[in-house]
Chains A and B, each alone.
Chain A
Amino acid sequence: MNLFEQTLFPFAGILANVLGHVAISRLPLPRGPVRRQFVSFAIGLAIVIYLSFVRRPIPDAGPAQAIPGILLSCLSYSFYGFVFFNALNANVSSLRVRLIRELAHAGPDGIATHELRTRYGREHILQVRLERLLTGGQLYLRDGRYHLKRGGVWWIGRLFALLRQVLLRTDP
């Protein structure tokens, strides 16, 4: 087989991820968008692993020779999968994308600053984010007070705080 085929395995995985997500996003499942994205990511990863084993460049190669190539393909796929995940997630949770879409809905006259803040201000952001954090199991509510569960968002926050300290020497 052409050695270049292996270079294309991650992209076959991304194609499966994107097409899988188009299909999954239309299914009446009770799961949120993030879990659906994990499912389509897993479909793409399975394709990459399958292709890497079945169509490896040197069929007679032992595991020690084959595993680095498979790992490289899987890591490359994961990077592009992360980019795809964030591209979709930006449409759900990015403040900038939300502001741009609010302005698009407003038409050519645009929106005054105070009106934009009324339509889409701190109260709205707080309400939507709290709902998402509660639904996603990152926080829980007890006796009218919010409490932390150390879930994914907490870990992401720790990573960002660490990188900020290392790179910028500033605390969050």
Chain B
Amino acid sequence: MAALLIALGLFAGSWGTHLVWWRLSPPQRPFRVLVAVFIGNPVVLVAALGALGRTDMMDAAEWASVGFFHLGATLCYLITYAGIEETSPSLAIVRKVESAGAAGATLEELGSVVTNERFIDPRLASLERDGFVTVQEGNFRLTAKGRSAASAAGRLSRLFNLQLGA
């Protein structure tokens, strides 16, 4: 029971720190800060318990279970946070249809929310900023990092028989 409660408490504490930080001042590079917060909290907990001489409240296997739980929960939250920061075209379409109410929405109305300026250009800019693509002579080209990512995506698609979508 102690392991489960500590694991849940650790994640709740990390999320609480994140909430307070974001309410006070959302950071410019949110993912770096999120990783720091969610890794920093367990480090602080273990250091505090060590200082109090209470690390023996669980055995090594339980500490390992708590660590794996927290790492998994953190990875899940980072994925979820990407959806908070950036709206997907599917969600934009669903919101537009919802706002249309009982009358429903036409294809033209839905076309007004899915624009290159909203969905393609910002993603190309972020791919360039993160070093996956570069612009040379007016053309977008993959960098070595981008080619590695494309290759990994291709291998994953073949292994799991995935069809390229959008």
Name A's B-contacting residues (CB within 8 A).
2-4, 6-7, 10, 21-22, 25-26, 33, 57, 65, 68-69, 71-73, 75-76, 79-80, 82-83, 86-88, 90-93, 95-101, 103-104, 108-113, 116-117, 120-126, 128-130, 132-133, 138-139, 142-148, 153-154, 156-157, 160, 163-164, 166-169, 172
Asked if A117 meets B19 with Cβ closer than 8 Å, knowing A112-B138, A130-B93, A142-B104, the reply is no
Q: Which residue from chain B places its CB closest to the CB of A127 in the assembled complex? A: B166
B115 touching A122, Cβ below 8 Å: yes
B53 at the interface (CB under 8 A from A): no
Q: Enumerate chain A residues within 8 angstroms of B132, measured Cβ to Cβ.
A: 96, 100
B127 at the interface (CB under 8 A from A): yes
Asked if A86 meets B84 with Cβ closer than 8 Å, knowing A68-B1, A97-B153, A129-B93, the reply is no
The contact sample of 10 A-B pairs, CB cut-off 8 A, is A26-B161, A71-B4, A72-B7, A101-B153, A101-B154, A128-B166, A144-B106, A157-B91, A157-B95, A163-B80
A124 touching B166, Cβ below 8 Å: yes
Distance of A3 Cα from B133 Cα, bound (Å): 47
A116 touching B159, Cβ below 8 Å: no
B116 touching A117, Cβ below 8 Å: yes
Q: Which 10 A-B pairs have the closest CB atoms?
A: A79-B72, A145-B104, A110-B141, A104-B150, A3-B61, A110-B139, A128-B166, A25-B161, A68-B4, A92-B165
A122 touching B76, Cβ below 8 Å: no
Residue of B87, B100, B154 touching A172 (CB-CB under 8 A): B87
A99 touching B83, Cβ below 8 Å: no
Q: Enumerate chain A residues within 8 angstroms of B13, measured Cβ to Cβ.
A: none
Name B's A-contacting residues (CB within 8 A).
1, 3-5, 7, 18-19, 22-23, 26, 59-62, 64-66, 68-69, 72-73, 75-76, 79-80, 83-84, 87-91, 93-95, 97-98, 100, 102-107, 110-111, 114-116, 119-120, 123-124, 126-127, 132-133, 136, 138-142, 146-147, 149-151, 153-154, 156-157, 159-166
Residue of B83, B106, B120, B138 touching A156 (CB-CB under 8 A): B83
Q: Enumerate chain B residues within 8 angstroms of A2, measured Cβ to Cβ.
A: 61
B89 touching A91, Cβ below 8 Å: no
B120 touching A4, Cβ below 8 Å: no
Distance of A146 Cα from B24 Cα, bound (Å): 40
Q: Which residue from chain B places its CB closest to the CB of A154 in the assembled complex? A: B94
A91 touching B157, Cβ below 8 Å: yes
Q: Enumerate chain B residues within 8 angstroms of A71, measured Cβ to Cβ.
A: 4
A4 touching B26, Cβ below 8 Å: no
Q: Enumerate chain B residues within 8 angstroms of A139, measured Cβ to Cβ.
A: 93-94, 97
Distance of A93 Cα from B153 Cα, bound (Å): 12
Residue of B68, B80, B89, B102 touching A7 (CB-CB under 8 A): B68
Residue of A73, A103, A146 touching B142 (CB-CB under 8 A): A103
Residue of A4, A65, A98, A112 touching B164 (CB-CB under 8 A): A98
